[in-house]
Structure 1
Amino acid sequence: MNLQHNYNSEDYEQFIFCLEGVPDVEVMTVTSVVKNLEQLAVEHGIASIYKTCDTIEGLEESLNTLLYDDHNFKDYEIIYLVMQGKRNTICLHDYYYSFEEIAEIFEGKMKGKILHFANTKVLDLKEEEAQYFLDITGALAVSGYGVAHKNIDSNLLDKAFFSLCQEIDDVVDIVEELHQKHYALCKLLDFRLYY
């Protein structure tokens, strides 16, 4: 299991927990996600913990480790998921898991958290799917993109969003500010937030 802390804990007040779906957790590679999290720490003072997973069990284990073994969990505002998938699923090890299944894994564990999906998958939930997910998990919001653009990754917008989450408490205000500062990119990638 790959666990990487990108911080000196006393220097930061808030953290991001990033979980990236990879083909094989045994193969160590430094992805663009890792580089962007390091930039986030340097440029915006936002620390992160980065883990990889290649199965749904790995995802669940990583989350449980975070919940029960990491005493800073209350400081994690954002759970950042970088995974493949379609509409309302994520894909790990060639298996697709619905948002309903993911909600059951996260049941009651995401109180006050924002689950943010990179644009490696399209986030396209019906209102009742989003509401079910939020009700079951206790999450404050789920965000992501309506466009999985092969040539444009969402790293720049992700970093801007994470930075605004540290400065502003209200999710609606965060989205408005994000659109004001990065209108073209928000439109291009179709930034979405369900709350």
Structure 2
Amino acid sequence: MVVVDRFSKMAHFVPCLKTLDASHIANLYFNEIVKLHGIPNTITSERDSKFMSHFWHTLWRKLGTTLQFSSSHHPQTDGQTEVVNQSLESLLRSLIRSLHEEVQKKIIRQNEKYKKQADKFRRQASFNEGDLVWIHLRKEQFPPGHFGKLKSRADGPFRILTRVGENAYKVELPGDYRVSAIFC
């Protein structure tokens, strides 16, 4: 909830839920605003059902305050609050962009930390064409009948056909395997 005191130009940003009813908003208003600025002579409010409720009309009538409604999407009615809203948007936008950068840097640092930890157990192996290698597969990648609980999860040896990347090789697999022939 954004409240601007027209006399002092002081803006108050009161955190609240969109689902609060008029009585809760009134409590927030009195707890956060009235204690600082007193009871206002006029209030300019958007045409929101929370503020247009019978509760507000009755409450302000008893206090001797008139309620002036602004038109939705017509900032000329209450330009001062609209300018404050734009300033708040800019402030939040700059805060979120700097927060986004900070989170991104932390993610990069954590990824580097995870990579360093994972690389401790990796071995760089270099093979040539024609070398024989063993492959490790998940149970669903083995051809039917080749995998069991007590059988090895590796199979081979298989001949290396070509080197595809720095640590990737194309292996000569039998036709009953349902996997790509390129392994890292």
Under a length normalisation based on structure 2, what TM-score does the superposition of the two structures give? 0.29
Report the structure, 1 or 2, having the larger strand content: 1
Report the structure, 1 or 2, having the larger helix content: 1
* Higher RCO structure (Cα 8 Å, ≥6 apart): 1
The structure number with the bigger radius of gyration is 2
Under a length normalisation based on structure 1, what TM-score does the superposition of the two structures give? 0.28
